């Protein structure tokens, strides 16, 4: 009787001793990597892994995939043994360029995106965006004549895709492709797939504000994405959204711009007015794929609210938050703003 009492007591004590150790052994640790060498922005991966070896393996996948898509969608540089957007642009007006399946897939998707966004998110707008890029760098407004001339060379129908031979032809020698509104989202999806295939069960990717999350955190809580009113007005919105297995992209006028005579000139150029619009200070889109959220947030930024609402309603499970320049906030029904 006494013996069994001590036996049980010893068992309880040894179990209680093991408990913290056991949870410690299984404990998933949070790791973060940030790189600044890709897509002209930052790239951060936050993940949970059981060992630093596991983290290192996943981090090397992150870095190599990041490098791969950065090179593939780069319009400024050429790389050895890589046929990328630079290669396609350099051949504009001359001949068909044989591209990898992946680049062909990207350009095909981008042409489709041009159609569904009514041209508001367009891969063929390169001639105009390059004029504005110069303007943003020098903080001077572009010459109207140069802008008008550039606008003659943004016709999407001058991209000829041959799906049998996997070639791309730009039939206008002065046109150029620009993946600025699509590339980061596209890469986030692809990198996310690679990490998932490598067995990573819980991570958050942030490619310059394009968030993509997979799985839930070890404690069961979701990954959260934030939307904040960039105007920072009194009582302004500060929204946190469950983005586990979803993507969140925000397009805003507060990035990469300059102010002249009270007008903000930023990097999102409307293909219709040929200049940056200032109806909104930011527009965020939440949906399944980062490519779609990236493309739609750009499109919605330059569209009227009504046109944007119609577009977002046509996309399955997509939500949006429009923050007007004056601080007014409109959301889709699936989002409850908390102030």
Binding region for another protein (CB under 8 A): 6, 9-10, 13, 16-17, 19-21, 24, 27, 30, 32-36, 41-42, 44, 206, 224-226, 228, 230, 232, 238, 240, 254-256
What is the C-alpha to C-alpha distance for residues 268 and 129, in angstroms, rounded to an integer? 9
What is the C-alpha to C-alpha distance for residues 272 and 147, in angstroms, rounded to an integer? 12
What is the C-alpha to C-alpha distance for residues 187 and 177, in angstroms, rounded to an integer? 17
CB of residue 13 to another protein, shortest distance in Å: 5
DSSP character string of 208-233? TTEEEEES--TTSPPPEEEEE-TT--
CB of residue 42 to another protein, shortest distance in Å: 5
CB of residue 40 to another protein, shortest distance in Å: 8
Nearer to another protein, 17 or 198 (CB): 17
Nearer to another protein, 68 or 255 (CB): 255
Q: Answer for the pair 281, 254: CB distance below 8 angstroms, yes or no.
A: yes
Per 3-state DSSP, the chain is made up of helix, strand and coil in percentages (nearest 5) of 40, 25, 35
Nearer to another protein, 158 or 255 (CB): 255
CB of residue 150 to another protein, shortest distance in Å: 25
CB of residue 254 to another protein, shortest distance in Å: 6
Nearer to another protein, 136 or 179 (CB): 136
Q: Which helix (H) or strand (E) holds 250?
A: strand 247-252
What is the C-alpha to C-alpha distance for residues 292 and 314, in angstroms, rounded to an integer? 12
Closest CA to 40 of 64, 70, 61, 82: 70
Contacts of 173 (CB under 8 A, 6+ apart): 92, 93, 94
Nearer to another protein, 78 or 240 (CB): 240
Nearer to another protein, 112 or 139 (CB): 139
CB of residue 48 to another protein, shortest distance in Å: 13
Closest CA to 315 of 336, 292, 333: 292
CB of residue 34 to another protein, shortest distance in Å: 4
Nearer to another protein, 241 or 311 (CB): 241
């Amino acid at each position: 009787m006494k013996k069994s009492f001590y036996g049980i007591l010893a068992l309880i004590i040894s179990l209680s001793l093991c408990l913290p150790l056991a949870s410690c052994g299984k404990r998933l640790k949070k790791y973060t990597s940030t790189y600044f060498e890709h897509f002209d922005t930052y790239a951060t991966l936050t993940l949970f892994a059981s060992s630093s070896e596991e983290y290192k393996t996943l981090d090397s996948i992150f870095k190599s995939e990041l490098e791969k898509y950065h090179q593939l969608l780069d319009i400024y540089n050429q790389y050895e043994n890589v046929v990328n957007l630079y290669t396609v642009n350099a051949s504009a007006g001359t001949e068909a360029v044989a591209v990898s399946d992946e680049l062909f897939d990207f350009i095909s998707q981008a042409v489709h995106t041009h159609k569904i966004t009514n041209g508001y998110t367009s891969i063929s707008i390169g001639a105009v965006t390059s004029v504005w890029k110069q303007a943003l760098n020098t903080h001077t407004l572009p010459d109207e004549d140069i802008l008008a001339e550039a606008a003659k060379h943004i016709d999407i129908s001058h991209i000829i895709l041959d799906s049998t031979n996997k070639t791309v032809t730009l039939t206008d020698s002065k046109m150029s492709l620009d993946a600025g509104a699509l590339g980061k989202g596209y890469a986030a999806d692809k990198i996310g797939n690679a990490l998932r295939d490598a067995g990573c069960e819980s991570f958050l990717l942030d490619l310059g504000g394009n968030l993509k999350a997979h799985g839930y955190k070890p404690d069961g809580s979701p990954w959260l994405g934030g939307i904040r009113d960039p105007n920072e007005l009194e009582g302004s919105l500060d929204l946190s959204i469950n983005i586990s297995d979803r993507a969140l992209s925000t397009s805003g006028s507060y990035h990469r711009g300059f102010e002249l005579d009270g007008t903000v000139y930023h990097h999102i150029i409307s293909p219709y007015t040929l200049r940056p619009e200032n109806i909104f200070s930011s527009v965020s889109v939440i949906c399944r794929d980062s490519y779609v959220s990236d493309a739609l947030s750009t499109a919605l930024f330059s569209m009227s609210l009504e046109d944007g609402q119609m577009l977002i309603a046509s996309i399955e499970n997509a939500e949006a938050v429009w923050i007007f320049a004056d601080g007014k906030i409109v959301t889709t029904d699936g989002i409850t703003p908390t102030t």
